[in-house]
Amino acid sequence: MSDIILELRKQLDLKTTDQDDVLSSQPAACASEAAIAADEKLLGFRLPAVLRRVYREIGNGGFGPGYGLIGVSGGRPDDTGRTLAEIYANNMTVDHEDSSWSWPKGLVPICHWGCAIYSCVDCLTPGNPVRIFDPNVHEDSRTWDDALFDEASSLEQWLREWAEGGDLWVKSYGDDGVIAKALTKRESC
């Protein structure tokens, strides 16, 4: 299997993000080990090794699927101006207006798709699977788990799919996408 960093660099020669047609972006400067370590201290756990490599060897966000990867401190934030550690910390807080709100420990938003939809890496599960969070499909009568969907069995697989030219949005939201199927199944119950 080829090196994921090389594959990502090849794809970056073709496009920076999936939104190149509406958003001019370049990868942020590479993250320092100190910046990564500081955010890991805030998170309370280590980021996956492949994500650490991406931030250190390609750039601290601003490239990749959707509107691009969200960086660690000093890197490219999401459209609300927050880094991945800041988004995670916000998600972990209690919502006093919604007692059913809870965010899974270790699930870190790393990519913004727009409309409050994020791809998130599970930093505490072996293999570091990727899940997509879409609050727009949440039903008030359910727990917030109904807004989380499996996207890839590992972070490396997710990155590799994008590097190979795959459309991760269509994979999730297309007619045969994971989320489309889940919502159809939910409606039939």
The arithmetic mean of pLDDT across residues 152-175, rounded, is: 95
pLDDT tens-digit readout, 27-52? 999 999 999 999 999 999 999 999 99
Rounded to whole angstroms, how far apart are CA atoms 52 and 5? Answer: 11
For position 62, which CATH number holds?
3.40.1580.10
pLDDT tens-digit readout, 122-150? 999 999 999 999 999 998 888 999 999 99
What is the Rg, in whole angstroms, of the alpha carbon atoms belonging to the chain? 16
CB distance 145 to 139 below 8 Å: no
Question: Is the pLDDT score of 10 beyond 90?
Answer: yes
Number of domains within the chain: 1
Rounded to whole angstroms, how far apart are CA atoms 184 and 189? Answer: 9
Question: Is the pLDDT score of 176 beyond 70?
Answer: yes
Both tokens of 176, joined, read: 């045969």
Rounded to whole angstroms, how far apart are CA atoms 55 and 126? Answer: 20
**Band of residue 183 on the pLDDT scale cut at 50, 70, 90:** confident
The arithmetic mean of pLDDT across residues 74-103, rounded, is: 93
Domain that holds residue 116: 4-188
- For residue 76, give the 3-state DSSP assignment: coil
72: exposed, middle or buried (C-beta count within 10 Å: 0-12, 13-18, 19+)? buried
Element (H or E) spanning 110, and its range?
Answer: strand 107-114
pTM above 0.85, yes or no: yes
Rounded to whole angstroms, how far apart are CA atoms 149 and 122? Answer: 12
Rounded to whole angstroms, how far apart are CA atoms 31 and 38? Answer: 11
